[in-house]
Amino acid sequence: MAEIIKKCRPGVVAVGVASALVNILYLTASFFMLQVYDRVIPSRSIASLVALGVLALMLYAFHAAFEIARNRILVRISGVFDEMMARAIFSTTVRSALKLRSGGDGLQLLRDFDQLRTFLSGSGPTIIFDLPWIPFYVAICFLFHPLIGAMTIVGGIILAVLTLVANKSTQKSAQKIHDLSNRRTSDIQAAQRNAEIVTALGMADTLANRWVSQNDAYRAAYRRNSDVANSYATVSKIFRMVLQSAVLAAGAVLVIENQASGGIIIASSILTSRALAPVEQAIANARAYAATLQAWRRMKELLKAFPAAPFPMLLPSPRRSLSVDNLVSGAPGQSQALIAGVDFRLNAGSAVGIVGPSASGKSSLARALTGVWPIYRGNIRLDGAALNQWSDVELGSHIGYLPQDIELFSGTVSENISRFRRDADPSAIIAAATAAGVHELILKLPRGYETEIGTGGNMLSAGQRQRLGLARALYGDPFLVVLDEPNSNLDADGEAAVTAAILSVRARGGIAIVIAHRPSALAGVDHVMMVKDGQMQLFGRKEDVINSILQKQERPVTLERAPTLKVVDGSEA
């Protein structure tokens, strides 16, 4: 933000200068009417009227030019804000989704960002620049006559009080509207994402009733907020009209008493109206100011909570080992540990299959191994370096990850496989697709690797999305490849492709972690880990662990701790 302010300072100064000229030129109408009534009409001089008219037109032209320039500068300041904050907004939105796991759709930061950008390019800043010029107009009113100046001051004080009350009255209700809006948006988006299940299970009517109830609460809150804001805006508008009429009457009295000229009546009315116009506009924009202030506070707090991480020193690519030391991990934003006491080591060329009952912590372990979930205690190290010693971008190039829920992005097949890298090597894309056994399938698509797959990959079947996700995980030959149930949507050919992919990772000196429910997923691994209740129960060579599991199934025994089947540097202990 400091960089943005520094870069925008010349623009802000230019807006201030343009605002000064605009406010001075607002006097054109008042002084034109003053000269017409006090000079032209008494002298009956058409030439003087023409000269005054030409001068007034020139001043109005300059007024328009400076007004346009001010608005254009504000739009460009908004553009600088957008340009310099866009990457931080995207990064923070993604990181906060991993760390906070808050309710809603996770896009509140983007909406706050849009709110601020719109405010900067709109009329809000111009009102702020116009408000300091009120004393200037009041001083001129005093030059016309002290009574006119005093009436303007009293009117300004009353409008200022109305502004403060309006802002205070709308702030709390604006926050409530914001919360209700997030809730109704989140629910309708969830229903849209799960349209198939909603329709198939006949949930549409029930969910519609629930959403309509939330929408009713939102509408009621919005109505109350609008009623209050519109009431204050209307009162201020009518009061300014009354004040303008009162100034006209006061001017007439002064003329009757021979204390002012006839032109003062019209000129003072116009000038008083202009002096109080910024205050009235501030009242009319009270809701926008309140919403923008709240957006700024939320945005500042979130950006402060997720500062830009320093870029660590570039480390050599990992090639030797993965070690997990007494790992304790859990879901973002929660203090409860879902994984505890996991301790093992794998050397290059190894693969481990992680088995266990449902909800035993297998997927949680996968998320921790990829750095997605926070580490409460312990460490995960690649070649002896903890994961936090790499930047997110650098670590991502060493890790391949295929989650349970395959999420592809709108774009082409090649873009999704290459992780949307601009410098992607076509040969590396084809190599990843070949390793995943999906190259031939891609060639059968309408445009091959350039086929658009639609939002979320909806143009592909579940099996095609899974195999395409596998190719993305293998792109760039990452050292650590984590596959969470990679065969859940695959047929026999697909399972064979997954096994071949695991063996290829081992053959090139990588390490594969495979979360498995079906035994066929273990065909390519040489180690097996059994997880139960978030803890490692068994770990060792595949044959030894499977035999141990089978023996325990014949004689059910509750394991309190892992047996001494642990691989250390390739040897059994």
Q: What is the pLDDT of residue 434?
A: 93
How does residue 401 score in pLDDT terms, banded at 50, 70 and 90?
A: very high
How does residue 572 score in pLDDT terms, banded at 50, 70 and 90?
A: very low
Say if CB 109 and CB 302 are below 8 A apart: yes
Cα–Cα–Cα angle for 470, 476, 479, nearest 5°?
85
Q: What is the pLDDT of residue 554?
A: 58
Residue 313 burial by CB count (10 A; 0-12/13-18/19+): exposed, middle or buried?
A: exposed
Question: Cα Rg for the chain, rounded, in angstroms?
Answer: 35
Least confidently predicted of 290-294, 371-375, 517-521, 541-545 = 517-521
Calculate mean pLDDT across residues 323-327: 92
* Count of Cβ atoms closer than 10 Å to residue 381 Cβ: 16
Q: Strand (E) positions, 141-270?
A: none
The predicted model scores a pTM of 0.69
Higher pLDDT: 170 or 149? It is: 149
With tokens 């873009």, the residue in question is 415
Residue 44 has pLDDT above 80, yes or no: yes
Looking at mean pLDDT, say which of 33-47, 102-116, 431-445, 483-497 comes out highest.
Answer: 431-445
Residues with Cβ within 8 Å of 143's Cβ and at least 6 positions away in sequence, in order, are 149
For residue 257, what are its two tokens? 């008493």
In whole angstroms, give the CA distance from residue 79 to residue 11: 12
Residue 82 has pLDDT above 70, yes or no: yes
Q: What is the pLDDT of residue 103?
A: 54
In whole angstroms, give the CA distance from residue 68 to residue 193: 44
Residue 22 has pLDDT above 90, yes or no: yes
Residue 335 has pLDDT above 50, yes or no: yes
In whole angstroms, give the CA distance from residue 426 to residue 432: 10
Cα–Cα–Cα angle for 299, 303, 308, nearest 5°?
155
Calculate mean pLDDT across residues 168-195: 78
Residue 167 has pLDDT above 80, yes or no: no
Calculate mean pLDDT across residues 162-168: 77
pLDDT single digits (tens) 361-387 = 898 999 999 988 888 999 999 999 998
Average pLDDT, the chain: 84
Q: Strand (E) positions, 490-566?
A: 511-515, 527-532, 535-541
Residue 558 has pLDDT above 50, yes or no: no
Say if CB 125 and CB 288 are below 8 A apart: no
Q: What is the pLDDT of residue 85?
A: 87
| Cα atoms in the Cβ-side hemisphere of radius 13 Å centred on 65 | 7
pLDDT single digits (tens) 448-495 = 999 998 877 778 888 888 899 999 999 999 999 999 988 887 888 888
How does residue 501 score in pLDDT terms, banded at 50, 70 and 90?
A: very high
